[in-house]
Chain A
Amino acid sequence: MRQYRLIPRRSEERRARYRSALFLAPSVIGVLVFFVIPFCVVIFYSFVDNPINKEFVGFENFVRLLKNAAFKKAAMNTLSFSGTAVPLSVILSLMLAMVLESKIPGKSKFRTFFLSPMMVPVASIVLIWQVIFHFNGALNDWLSVFGVEKIDWLKSNYSQYVIVMLFLWKNLGYNMILFMAALSSIPRDQLEAAQIDGASKATVFWRIKLRYLSPTLLFVTIFSLINSFKVFRETYLLTGDYPYETLYLLQHFMNNTFMSLDYQKLSSAAMIMFVFMVIIIGALFFVESKFGRDVEE
């Protein structure tokens, strides 16, 4: 009879581990070559005066960038856009998910409908947005019934709200799916127990559901934030290289800086955004680990 060794020997285990590490090699090498190593160069560039002279200048590039009017404007616009769009998309998609979780008929049809904008390429849909939001467009036509003055929506101070709407249109479905999955994984017995104890709906929501949802809330917030930076696509395809000033986003700033190939500006801008993102993500993780700690095993 053959003898099987149920617990492999140490050296064998280690060999298997090395061999499975080989599976990582192609991806890790690619990531190193295309992201990590050049990012080290970016860090280096952000601290020197220029790529040829390579003299260390400390934080001078950052100081200059933070004083740059175009960068400031782009950063403020992007912040105000993301600051509006992200919370709205989290709240609205949670609402959509809860509506679909309640027992309404045609649930799967509604899911399909809400998810469909995600699949439509931005380039395909900007035509219709143009028709709606143009000075001579449909929205002004509808509003004129109520006696509202015509305005060019994308060239007005409302332009950010328009873009927020386009963002929500495209992204709510994705977030909704995440919330639906999270809602359905809340243990039923907990909800029932609370109901028997006479807890109000609000209490159940705040004390139980939200606790279980907190990892998803974290992820949806982060993901919406990332996606909110992609709204450049809509903005660019609708308004081109030189949009109305409230639509001048960080990606526009980067594009223009790439045109002039100012390495110092590019590198320090990328660094600032990197640090900013790391802080935001770190903070969200921290909050989530405090708030949702007791539901994780």
Chain B
Amino acid sequence: MSAPTLAARAAGKKRRAVIKIALLTIWAAVFSVIFLLPTILTITNSFMSPGEIASNYGAIFAKGEAGGKVFISERVNLKFIPDMVTLRQYITVLFKSPEYLFKFWNSVILVAPIVLFQVGIAAVASYGFSRYRTKTRNLLFFAYIVLMLMPYQVTLVPNYLVSQFLKTLNTRWAIILPGIFSPFAVFILTKAMRRVPKSIIEAARLDGASEWRVFTRICLPECKSAIYSVIILVFIDYWNMVEQVLILMNVPEKQPLSVFLSKINAGEISLAFAVATIYMIPAILLFLHGEDYLVEGITYSGRLKG
């Protein structure tokens, strides 16, 4: 057996590299399908008629009602493409059953003030944290990190005690107020603001600009993209809220859609897909518009130190 020539060996190496890339791409494609499918199915199913939903999923959601009334097949039929695309579900949700829109509005009036004020207050605070890094401030910042890392099981107890004391329990304030002071936005914005070159700030100060002016005219514009990314991250977190609602505001008519959606009864199950899709829309739009910012924000969040 003769030794392979150098050229043949190089060609073999190259072919192996191509095969490797191809396999990895296939692997990534398979994962993509798994990641995308549930979302896409929800959206396509929202365009099905009530009858189609009932016949597809009756085996699951009609459970508990007296059997025998309607014949429903015993297996589900998870389908991608509706037999007939219809907007009926959306028309019902948007015009005929205001209940869902009302719950959607509940979500909005809980989440909007939290996002607005959490990010606003955090921006101000992060200037304080990044302007001078004294021992006390570093210690305080560390305390914020520890608080940020505490799960709801820990923080909800103090939140409950405060709401009880302020008599805000079962009102929206019980969720909004602790949400506003949640340290997550402070953490990320401080990371971003520490990257603003010290020399610019010092120069502005020497020219006689006040701290507030330095903050609004230099640091805020420099951190624009970080602020946008924090807005996205805080928004998703609260758009998804469940725990706080169950404990701090257990009032059915004030519930946001993130909790209410799972309580849709069997009779209205066909609407559920449309409501679920509507509830996704703001998050998806933010994602599509700000994906790069989101990635930037996540990257900031990854630097626990420094």
**Cβ-defined contact, A20 with B211, below 8 A:** yes
Chain A residues contacting B156 (CB-CB under 8 Å) are 254, 270
**Contact in complex: A30, B242 (CB < 8 Å):** no
Bound-state CA distance A203–B60 (Å) is: 52
B9 contacts chain A at the CB level, 8 A cutoff: no
B153 and A250 contact, CB distance less than 8 A: yes
Within 8 A of B (CB), among A49-101: 96, 99-100
B272 within 8 A of A: yes
CB distance from A281 to the nearest CB of B (A): 6
* CB-contact partner of B206 in A4, A138, A273, under 8 A: A4
**Any chain A CB within 8 A of the CB of B161?**
yes
Q: Does B75 contact A (CB under 8 A)?
A: yes
Partner of B28, one of A99, A138, A222, A277: A99
Q: Which residues of A contact B160 (CB under 8 A)?
A: 258, 266
Decide: A115 and B291 in contact? CB cutoff 8 A.
Answer: yes
A126 at the interface (CB under 8 A from B): yes
Interface check B101, CB cutoff 8 A: no
Contact flag A134-B125 (CB < 8 Å), given A122-B258, A255-B247: no
A124 and B279: CB pair below 8 A? yes
Which residues of chain A (160-213) have a CB below 8 Å from chain B?
169, 172-174, 177-178, 181-182
Whole-angstrom distance between the alpha carbons of A269 and B158 in the complex? 12
Cβ contact within 8 Å between B157 and A267 = yes
- Among residues of B, the one whose C-beta sits closest to the C-beta of A275 is B154
- Inter-chain contacts of A110 with B (CB < 8 A): 28, 31-32
The CA of A267 and the CA of B157, in the complex, are separated in Å by 7
| B92 proximity list for chain A (CB < 8 A) | none
CB within 8 Å for A169 and B242 given contacts A27-B181, A35-B181, A255-B247:
no
A146 close to chain B: CB less than 8 A? no
B172 at the interface (CB under 8 A from A): no
Among B38, B75, B157, the most chain A Cβ lie within 10 Å of the Cβ of B157
When C-beta atoms are compared, the residue in chain A nearest to B36 turns out to be: A113
Other-chain contact of B60, A26, A130, A219, A233 (Cβ < 8 Å): A130
Provide the main secondary structure of the chain B interface: helix
A216 to B302, CA, bound (A): 6
How large, as a class, is the contact surface on chain A?
Answer: 35 or more
A20/B127 contact (C-beta < 8 A), A113-B36, A216-B302 known? yes
Chain B, range 1-34, C-beta contacts under 8 Å to A: 20-21, 24-25, 27-28, 31-32, 34
Let me know if A293 is at the binding interface, CB within 8 A: no
Q: Is A28 an interface residue (CB 8 A)?
A: yes
CB of B132 within 8 A of CB of A20, answer yes
* Contact B76–A138 (Cβ < 8 Å): yes
Minimum Cβ distance to chain B for residue A193 (Å): 21
Q: How far apart are the CA atoms of A95 and B295 in the complex, in Å?
A: 18
A258: min CB distance to chain B, Å: 5
Q: Distance (Å) between the CB of B158 and the closest chain A CB?
A: 3
Query: A27-B122, A30-B180, A254-B153 known; A129 and B59 CB under 8 Å?
Result: no
Contact between A237 and B262, CB atoms less than 8 A apart: yes
Q: Is A136 within 8 A of B150, CB to CB?
A: no
B27 lies within 8 A of A99 (CB): yes
The listed residue with most A CB atoms (<10 A of its CB), out of B153, B287, B304, is B153
User: When A17-B134, A33-B162 are in contact, do A218 and B304 touch as well, CB less than 8 Å?
Assistant: yes
Cβ of B94 under 8 Å from chain A: no
Does B41 contact A30, Cβ atoms closer than 8 Å? no
Does B286 make an interface contact (CB < 8 A)? Answer: yes
Contact A141 B76 (CB under 8 A): yes
Which residues of chain B come closer than 8 Å to A223, judged between CB atoms?
301
CB neighbours of B272 from chain A (8 A): 127
- Not counting A126-B261, A181-B302, a sample of 18 additional A-B residue pairs whose C-beta atoms are within 8 angstroms of each other reads A17-B131, A20-B128, A20-B211, A31-B144, A34-B162, A102-B20, A115-B291, A121-B258, A122-B242, A123-B261, A130-B60, A138-B78, A177-B295, A177-B298, A219-B302, A237-B259, A250-B153, A270-B154
CB<8 Å pairs between A and B, sample of 17: A6-B206, A20-B211, A38-B159, A42-B161, A100-B28, A111-B295, A113-B31, A120-B39, A122-B240, A123-B257, A125-B39, A130-B60, A134-B60, A141-B78, A277-B150, A281-B146, A281-B149
